[in-house]
Amino acid sequence: MKEARLMRKYNHKHVVKILGVAVHEHPLMLVMEVCPNGSLLSYLRKNKGSTPLSEKLRFSTEASDGLAYLEKKLCIHRDIAARNCLLGAKYEIKIADFGMSDDKVIVHDDTLEKARLPCGSVPVKWLAPETLQDKIYSLKTDVWSYGVLVWEIYADGAEPYPGLTRLQTRAKIVVQNYRMEMPKDTPKSVADIVYSCWEKDPARRPEMSRIFRMLREIGERSRSGN
């Protein structure tokens, strides 16, 4: 019911809409808007090597628009990733899967190691250093995860930190302060935004609203040929 309660508050073109709840079934069933083109992750992998940079920028911008809206609503999503972005009828981004979300300013989750995805693993490769180390989630940990999402988009749906296990990834991020390089075809202006999302100090990471404005401006300049 918590997921339904949260989602009822939200109304944005880049956030999946809840249409109702089937309370007479067990478990409870949420009725969502139809997103006929599936997950962003599947789309990226299916179209590997053929997704234009303009579309990758659009995906990144639309995701930041939806997340800026959630930020304004003080919603910590906690599971931002390409697998949790759906594509609508016009291939527009819809932020989905609010199963781990909360409407608190900061969440301290001692059950991190028990938080399971369908694949049976904690999403370590999308988590910020303070989450991995201190089990803290905030609006700024969502910003970190958004940076990983943009990496996924420009890497055609590849798994982040390729070649590293979850344990190795955790050690590289927390102990060695390691950051991935953005894929080679990523525009520098976009890569710089992603690197700012991966600042170790959460206070130095930009707000999602600022990220959206910057990406929108990059798109406008690109379309005008400047």
Pairing of strands 85-87, 18-22: unpaired
> Could you tell me if 149 and 157 are in contact, meaning their C-beta atoms sit under 8 angstroms apart?
no
- Full 3-state SS string of 198-216: CCCCHHHCCCHHHHHHHHH
Is 79 noted as a catalytic residue in this protein? yes
Please pick, among 79, 97, 142, 156, the residue that the annotation labels catalytic.
79
Q: Which residues are catalytic?
A: 79
